[in-house]
């Protein structure tokens, strides 16, 4: 019988190849065997953000030459960002790059694919626009901040049949893939609880005070920025520090919980929570923001719509921006122990011991301890290329090259994490228990559809 140690060793070896060569495990030479392999794939950048400059762009360029990809154009409605993008590209490659002032100009340049790293609320709408223009898409998370946007983008994606990778890069991490294999094998036992945190102490998180002084409305396109959000007069903070303001971002749920709750959906095979309750507030950083600096949410999951004994599990999620003690953690519990995706260790901690099992005529259940492949998720800084982003970008590029729609984080994954994020946002903003109505495809709180 295969031991857990042998199982995880095989799993780690398999996913190590996956991270380096994607689900196709292709070498550079094997591209010649694929139809269209000699065609250069032209990729546009939609939103020259710090996230793109410091992470996504570097990951893309790491593989572009060998895979015959080209960073083809940079599109940003702020003229300064276009200029900065040109300077960045020249520094990275010694070459020049074209720009576009908006998506109308971008589509006339006919890129084959785009990387979307714009404001949170724009991701889903721009994904829909991109696939309708015939482009494959790498889109940052959160996928959507409202169900209307999520539903619209999912429909467009399904109709277009383009390769879409949502920026949930944990799905390309060897440790997470090994954890997925282990849990889905049944050896872990039934998931009975999950605890997740994401704590920082950074007054400047999501703040850009100097840039807000420098940006001018005439150098950008405020109405185009707002897209389908209610019109309001020009506000440089909401343009640049959008993560602090609803309805341009949900803040903590969309930025941080989106990453972590995605692993719950992936590992469990469940698409969204049965319900969510949440509370929070602005307890420290009273700087004009409307999104909370502290959030705690409790989400109920199960494979039936109603709670019944023995079915489902609870996720406790907490995050604060004013004290970093505890850092980030992702703890999965079964009756036999704990899977810790911070230390990447499986242990029998908390498992059913012989003493207490015998009292009820049961057998003890204690997981055999072992280590998952080691990889560290960077959460202490705003940006930074890391092994997960490299592997995730490579997976997308492999899939675009092969026209393989089964990326590590397909559009359905983004849709699912959006439901959970929106449920928590609804609970936070209404004070009511939130659910997802499968019939209307809307999040409901207090019996009403949640809108901004």
Task: For residues 241-269, give the mean pLDDT.
Answer: 98
**136-139 and 442-445 as β-strands: parallel, antiparallel, unpaired?**
unpaired
What distance in Å separates the CA atoms of residue 445 and residue 151, rounded to the nearest whole number?
18
pLDDT for residue 24 is more than 70:
no
Which pLDDT tens digit goes with each residue over 167-218?
Answer: 999 999 999 999 999 999 999 999 999 999 999 999 999 999 999 999 999 9
Mean pLDDT, residues 275-289 taken together: 97
**Is it the case that residue 294 has pLDDT exceeding 70?**
yes
Complete DSSP assignment for 262-321: HHHHHHH---S-SEEEEEEE-SS--SS--S-SEEEEEEEE-SSSS--TT--EEEEEEEES
Looking at residue 376, its pLDDT comes to 59
Phi first, then psi: what are they for 243, rounded to 5°?
A: -65, -15
d(CA 399, CA 380): 30
The C-alpha atoms of residue 264 and residue 258 are separated, in whole angstroms, by 10
Query: Rounded distance, CA 220 to CA 233, Å?
Result: 14
Given this model, what pLDDT does residue 259 score?
96
> Exposure of 383 by Cβ count < 10 A (0-12 exposed, 13-18 middle, 19+ buried)?
middle
63 in Cβ contact with 391 (< 8 Å): no
Residue whose entry in the numeric block shows the structure tokens 């030459």: 65
CA distances from 230 to 104, 148, 246, 343, 386 (A): 22, 14, 11, 44, 36
More confident residue, 310 or 221: 221
What does the pLDDT read at residue 385?
Answer: 55
Tell whether the model's pLDDT for residue 4 goes beyond 80.
Answer: no
Long-range CB contacts for residues 298-307, cutoff 8 Å, separation at least 24: 299/261, 299/273, 299/275, 299/420, 299/423, 299/424, 300/273, 300/274, 300/275, 300/276, 301/264, 301/268, 301/270, 301/273, 301/274, 302/270, 302/274, 303/270, 305/274, 306/274, 307/274
Contact 398, 22 (CB under 8 A): yes
Tens digits of per-residue pLDDT, 340-378?
A: 999 999 999 999 999 999 999 999 999 999 999 986 555
Share of the chain above pLDDT 70, in %: 89
Report yes or no: 271 and 419 within 8 Å, Cβ to Cβ: yes
Where on the phi/psi map is residue 110: left (φ > 0), alpha (ψ -120 to 50), or beta? Answer: left
pLDDT, position 353: 97
Q: Cβ contacts of residue 345 below 8 Å, gap of 6+?
A: 369, 370, 371, 372
Contact 68, 58 (CB under 8 A): no
Given a cut of 70, whether residue 40 has pLDDT beyond it is yes
Cα distance between residue 401 and residue 322, in whole Å: 44
Those residues with Cβ within 8 angstroms of residue 24's Cβ, 6 or more apart along the chain or in another chain? 398, 399, 402, 404
Q: How confident is the model at residue 54 (pLDDT cuts 50, 70, 90)?
A: very high
- Summarize pLDDT for 315-324 with one digit per residue, the tens: 999 999 999 9
pLDDT score, position 264? 98
- Please state, for a pLDDT cut of 90, what percent of the chain lies above it: 86
Nearest CA among 439, 399, 397, 409 for reference residue 176:
409
> Each residue of 204-222: pLDDT tens digit?
999 999 999 999 999 999 9
Q: How confident is the model at residue 37 (pLDDT cuts 50, 70, 90)?
A: low
Please state the rounded mean pLDDT for residues 407-426: 98
Output the six-digit token pair for 225.
């920025």
At which residue do the structure tokens 């282990």 appear?
A: 182
Helix axes 387-402, 57-67, angle to 10 degrees: 40
User: pLDDT: is 221 or 305 the higher one?
Assistant: 221
Rounded average pLDDT over 371-387: 64
Residue 116, CB-side half-sphere exposure with 13 Å CA sphere: 30
């Amino acid at each position: 019988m295969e031991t857990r140690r042998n199982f995880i060793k095989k799993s780690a070896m398999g996913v190590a190849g996956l991270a380096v060569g994607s689900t196709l495990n292709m070498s550079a030479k094997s591209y010649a065997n694929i139809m269209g392999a000699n065609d250069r794939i032209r990729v546009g950048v939609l939103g020259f953000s710090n996230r793109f400059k410091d992470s996504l762009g570097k990951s893309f360029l790491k593989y572009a030459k060998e895979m015959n990809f080209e960073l083809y154009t940079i599109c940003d409605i702020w003229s300064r960002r276009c200029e900065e993008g040109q300077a960045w590209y020249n520094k990275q490659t010694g070459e020049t790059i074209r720009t576009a002032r908006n998506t109308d100009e971008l589509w006339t340049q006919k890129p084959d694919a785009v990387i979307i790293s714009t404001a949170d609320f724009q991701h889903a709408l721009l994904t829909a626009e991109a696939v309708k223009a015939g482009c494959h898409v790498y889109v940052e998370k959160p996928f959507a901040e409202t169900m209307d946007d999520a539903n619209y983008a999912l429909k467009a994606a399904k109709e277009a049949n383009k390769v879409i990778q949502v920026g949930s890069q944990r799905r390309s991490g060897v440790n997470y893939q090994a954890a997925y294999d282990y849990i889905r094998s049944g050896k872990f036992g039934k998931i009975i609880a999950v605890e997740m945190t994401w704590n920082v102490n950074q007054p400047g998180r999501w703040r850009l005070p100097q840039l807000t002084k420098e940006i001018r409305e005439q150098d950008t396109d405020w109405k185009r920025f707002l897209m389908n959000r209610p019109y309001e007069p020009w506000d440089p903070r909401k343009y640049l520090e959008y993560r602090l303001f609803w309805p341009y971002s949900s803040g903590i749920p969309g930025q941080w919980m989106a990453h972590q709750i995605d692993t719950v959906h992936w590992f469990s095979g469940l698409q969204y929570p049965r319900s969510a309750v949440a509370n929070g507030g602005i307890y420290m950083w009273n700087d004009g923001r409307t999104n909370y600096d502290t959030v705690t949410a409790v989400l109920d999951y199960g494979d039936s719509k109603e709670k019944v004994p023995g079915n489902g599990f609870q996720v406790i999620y907490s995050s604060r921006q004013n004290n970093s003690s505890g850092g980030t953690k992702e703890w999965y519990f079964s009756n036999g122990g704990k899977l810790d995706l911070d230390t990447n260790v499986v242990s029998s901690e908390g498992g059913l011991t012989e003493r207490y099992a015998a009292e009820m005529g049961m057998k003890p259940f204690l997981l055999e301890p072992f280590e998952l492949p080691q990889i560290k998720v960077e959460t202490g800084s705003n940006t930074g290329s890391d092994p997960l982003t490299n592997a995730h970008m490579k997976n997308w590029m492999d899939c675009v090259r092969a026209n393989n729609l089964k990326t590590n984080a397909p559009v359905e994954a983004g849709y699912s994490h959006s439901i959970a994020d929106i449920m928590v946002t609804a609970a936070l903003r209404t004070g009511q228990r939130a659910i997802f109505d499968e019939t209307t495809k809307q999040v409901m709180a207090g019996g009403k559809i949640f809108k901004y």
